[in-house]
Amino acid sequence: MSELNEKKPSRLEPFPVPRRSFLSLAALGSFFSAIGIALAGAFRLPGPAVLPGPVRRYKIGHPEEFAVGSETRFEEANFMVFRDAQGVFAISAVCTHLGCSVARSPSGFACPCHGSRFAANGDVARGPAPRALPWLEVGRAADGQLVVYAENEVPKGTRFKA
């Protein structure tokens, strides 16, 4: 054995690795990579392929049901619909901080969980919320009713001319 170790590396045999060591290293390597890939595959399972839940698209009624200057809260869907002289718009009522439902307050919206306050147009006024309340896309269905696409955010100030 010592003879083998003391042999000088040559061009043909630069680093003499005993065949057994090489084979056991290869075996160990294949064992761990197989286990690793199997585990990665197994742990892919809890990552949901399809997110459950309803399609968040809500028919909210005909335009004439929303008087100019009115505001309507949709509790189940968690947004508020407003109508002013320029048109109809919807603002999400889910706090951008940690997902509590915000309530209407005199100056805008107030979150009960960690004290975030929002202005009437959804902008953050104080508290820990990192972003403004999103404005949601409003459209019209074939039967003439207004539809709120609660998953589509639109730029602040976008109104639907009803």
Contacts with other proteins, residue ranges (CB under 8 A)? 46-48, 51-53, 75-76, 78, 97-101, 110-115, 123-131
For other proteins, the closer of residues 28 and 98 by Cβ is: 98
What's the min distance (Å) between Cβ of 100 and other proteins?
4
**37 CB-contact burial (10 Å; exposed 0-12 / middle 13-18 / buried 19+):** exposed
Query: Rounded to an integer, what distance in angstroms lies between the CA atom of residue 63 and that of residue 146?
Result: 6
For other proteins, the closer of residues 103 and 162 by Cβ is: 103
Q: How many C-alpha atoms does 93 have within 13 Å on its Cβ side? A: 18
Amino acid at 1: M
Determine contact, residues 93/80, Cβ cutoff 8 Å.
yes
For other proteins, the closer of residues 15 and 43 by Cβ is: 43
What's the min distance (Å) between Cβ of 134 and other proteins?
12
Query: Rounded to an integer, what distance in angstroms lies between the CA atom of residue 65 and that of residue 148?
Result: 15
What's the min distance (Å) between Cβ of 44 and other proteins?
11
What's the min distance (Å) between Cβ of 81 and other proteins?
15
For other proteins, the closer of residues 113 and 154 by Cβ is: 113
